Chain A
Amino acid sequence: MTTATIAGTAVELNDEGFFVEPAQWTRDIAVELARQHGIDTLTDQHWTVLEFMRKEYFEKGTGPTVRILGKSSGVSVKDLYQLFPEGGPAKTAARIAGIPKPKGCI
């Protein structure tokens, strides 16, 4: 576990770079993390996904997989891969949304 400063806020990250404490997340952090993952501007569609990720995490204790995102977030699987082109959409969205890595095979 390491402490990193993102957008002026100190946050705890695990070895893979996922948030340990989702409450430390802010929207400014998301903007900064998105840039680090090759996303210059977070569009409304990005925010839809990020907010869905956090909602699912707080409700269920784990972030959604791509399959669940495609079915329930309002953003299609095809769009998800275009919105988050690096590192897989669910994983990258989880990083940017400040939640732990989603568990699930599908």
Chain B
Amino acid sequence: MSAPTAAEKIDKVSIIISKGSLEGIYPGLIMANGARAEGMEANLFFTFFGLDAIHVKRIEHIKVATVGNPAMHIPTLVGALPGMSAIATHMMNKKMDELDIPPLDEFIEMIGDTGAGMYACKASVDMFGMSKDDFVSQVHDIITVGDFYELAAGGQIIFT
């Protein structure tokens, strides 16, 4: 494996998390954490159902989607049976634990400790009738789209 040479280095990433399923949340968190580990600046912007990832009560109930998710390789009607999502989530959490990937609440705390910025989308917060008290302490602020673009200036934006 050789080092990147001519290509311009990435110094900063701003990652948008817009989905509230386990598989919708983890990739963005892993990328933000990885960016900090590489010495880059990183911001996370949670919007729509992505807000569940920073919601004090909902963070413990994040599940894998077993319906409408062909990569799960189970028939949609089977995926819709009561408890299927819980079973799939349990299995995936177990696998991730074996790989030393932290549970969501611990991961959010860790990413806060890396110095990454965490923000909630104002439009979504208003829509769901939430307030700053609903979010984990690592969330810096509730910001507008305009504020987000200002924060993201000069870096790469990743939408998940």
Contact = CB atoms under 8 A, between A and B. Distances in A.
Interface stretch (B30-38, B45-53, B140-148): B30-38
A91 B39 contact: yes
A4 interface: no
Contacts of B56: none
Contacts of B113: 70, 76-78, 81
A68 B102 CA distance: 11
A77 B114 contact: yes
A106 B30 contact: yes
A37 to B, nearest CB: 10
B3 interface: yes
B100 interface: yes
Interface in B8-67: 30, 33-34, 36-39
Interface in A44-101: 65-68, 70, 76-78, 81, 86-92
A interface residue count range (under 10 / 10 to 19 / 20 to 34 / 35 or more):
20 to 34
A105 interface: yes
Interface residues of B, number: 17
A88 B110 contact: no
B154 interface: no
Interface SS of B by simple majority: loop
A81 B36 contact: yes
Contacts of B99: 106
A69 to B, nearest CB: 10
A20 to B, nearest CB: 14
Interface of B: 2-3, 30, 33-34, 36-39, 99-102, 110, 113-115
Interface of A: 15-16, 65-68, 70, 76-78, 81, 86-92, 105-106
16 contacts: A16-B3, A66-B33, A67-B110, A68-B100, A77-B110, A77-B113, A81-B36, A81-B114, A86-B39, A87-B38, A88-B36, A88-B39, A89-B37, A91-B37, A105-B30, A106-B30
